[in-house]
Amino acid sequence: MFLFYFIIFIFGLIVGSFLNVVVFRLKNGDRIINDRSKCLHCKHFLAWYDLVPIFSFIFLKGRCRYCGKRISWQYSLVELGTGILFVSVVNYELGIMNYEYLTSNIQYLMVSLLFCFYIISALIVIFVYDLKHYIIPDKIIYPAIVVALGFNLFDDLVTRYTLHITDNNSQFLNFLLAAFISGAFFYSIVVITKGKGMGGGDIKLGFLMGLILGWPLILIALFLSFITGSVVGIFLMLVGNKKMKSMIPFGPFLVLGTFLALFWGEDIMEWYLNMIIY
């Protein structure tokens, strides 16, 4: 089992390396594929051994082999984060499926994991891009919404067929409802603040969050997003990096809230309900 998780982790590192390319080339309008990577400082084309995730950064001591300029920590952090998240989501998916269901529905598991890998990748790009450029790219958010809608519909149909569900309760409608509630919530903030509190990208990301988490986990994600955003914002003001009117991108906190709710949302909700009852 360790070997399996190790392979998933290495796969995540490779995908993370590609995501760094996506973040950089989206801003510059370059082609995502078919263009060789090069140093941002000296423009020297990089060899394959300069691009090995994590290890090249370590062996080169965080500097370009050709000009000696520093390489941003962003690249290694994105690679490492992607690898960890890929392993985490595989462990989560395997944990919620019993062995009998898993072995008889291996095709479903593969589709589900591919969807999770794609969504994680899209959210990581949104996280980094919004953090760097204060905008959520439409080229990432719109395809992610379409894919999430398609998967939720597929998941609902497969679940009904395999478990022989005949009632009117629909998982697809649950996720769709969560998406509209989340999107409407951010839309109301945009209208009330006249675009100063939130932007259109946050509306789209809120909608995507609903499609990923469903109801009621979307509430946990929103709560955690605002809590972490507030804590970080106050901290930055205390250390003098930001002022009261300074812009702080909220997309990264929404992505963080999504991941926290995805992996620990049900535990957080159970803890909160138990605290209220007892």
The answer to which of 86-95, 113-122, 145-154, 241-250 has the lowest mean pLDDT is 241-250
Q: How much is the pTM?
A: 0.89
Please give the pLDDT value at position 266: 86
Residue 233 to residue 116: CA distance in whole angstroms? 30
Check residues 131 and 60 and name the one with the higher pLDDT. Answer: 131
CB of 207 closer than 8 Å to CB of 179:
yes
Distances (CA, A) of 19 to 24, 42, 105, 148, 161: 9, 22, 30, 19, 36
pLDDT band at 193 (very low <50, low <70, confident <90, very high): confident
At 100 the pLDDT is 54
Q: Is 9 helix (H, G, I), strand (E, B) or coil?
A: helix
Answer yes or no: are the C-beta atoms of 156 and 172 closer than 8 Å. Answer: yes
Q: Are 131 and 120 a contacting pair, CB within 8 Å? A: no
Query: Looking at the predicted structure, is the pLDDT value of residue 168 above 70?
Result: no
pLDDT at 99 over 60: no
Asked if the model's pLDDT at residue 49 lies above 80, the reply is no
pLDDT-derived band at 240 (thresholds 50, 70, 90) equals low
Q: What is the DSSP letter of 47?
A: P
Task: Look at residue 161 and tell me whether its pLDDT is greater than 70.
Answer: no
**Distances, alpha carbon 35 to alpha carbons 5, 21, 30, 31, 44, in Å:** 31, 10, 8, 7, 13
Pick 209 or 27 by higher pLDDT. 209
Give the C-alpha separation, 182 to 219, whole Å: 8
Identify which has the larger pLDDT, 263 or 101. Answer: 263
> Which contiguous run of DSSP H or E holds residue 196?
none
Question: Per DSSP, which regions of 30-172 are E strands?
Answer: none
